[in-house]
Structure 1
Amino acid sequence: MSKTNSMLHQSVESLKKATQELGEKASWAPLGKGRTALNQVAECALITGACIGIIQNKAVPEMDWEAFGKAQDALAADADAAYASLISNTEGLIAALEGLSAEDAAIEVTMPWGATYTLAGLADVVYWNNTYHEGQINYISTLV
């Protein structure tokens, strides 16, 4: 899993760097309606944390999107907390992945958006989500 760990760490560092480069604009919402960079970092932290639970329980729970949104808003309000949560949850995800047996790694789960992944494949979900939002944040940087 060393390559996976490296990719996850790199995606976190790139996401954090892109957001920090915005400075005070990290909490700016395009057109007053779009998502802020910090809101997107908070989402990445929470999705990573949710994947830890999915791996531990070997199942996807019912998602309470209202509670998710409130947690996301609270985390986005504090940049240091958002970064710390992203880093901590990434370490937790790596530990959960490393703890999977080969048999458990192959267990398939269906995510709330309908896509099916193996438990080991949740690393790809997190990596994709982080890099996607890094791109969105880099786009925000062109607008400020």
Structure 2
Amino acid sequence: MIDAAQLIAVEVESFYLPEESEPAQRRFVFGYRIAIRNQSDYSIQLLARYWRISQGSGEIREVRGEGVVGRRPLIAPGLPFNYASRAVLDSEVGVMEGSYTFMAPAIGETFDVAIAPFRLARPLYLH
């Protein structure tokens, strides 16, 4: 059994995209950058993603899909895989969390890695 927490590190940076947002229409767009580092001794392939998006309005959305940004990357030992994506919320604040499903082809096992909750928040403006 693979101890995923020891083998895969996931770092997240989120940011508000004011040029794509329309606050008057309750459309708030956030970008996020993900860095996945393979700390194992063998290559791993990212097969799927799961996101749970909690919005300030109370609505919760779940997103499941194959790979990330249209890819199912094979990540070599010691190397990172980086990508950027975005989320559209109906409120100025939200929280995303989830998991990735990976496969280690060399040993034929699949395993999940949790993505810790991270905040999506529009910066406050003082007038």
After TM superposition, the score normalised by the length of structure 1 is 0.27
Compare the two structures and name the one with the higher strand fraction: 2
After TM superposition, the score normalised by the length of structure 2 is 0.29
Compare the two structures and name the one with the higher helix fraction: 1
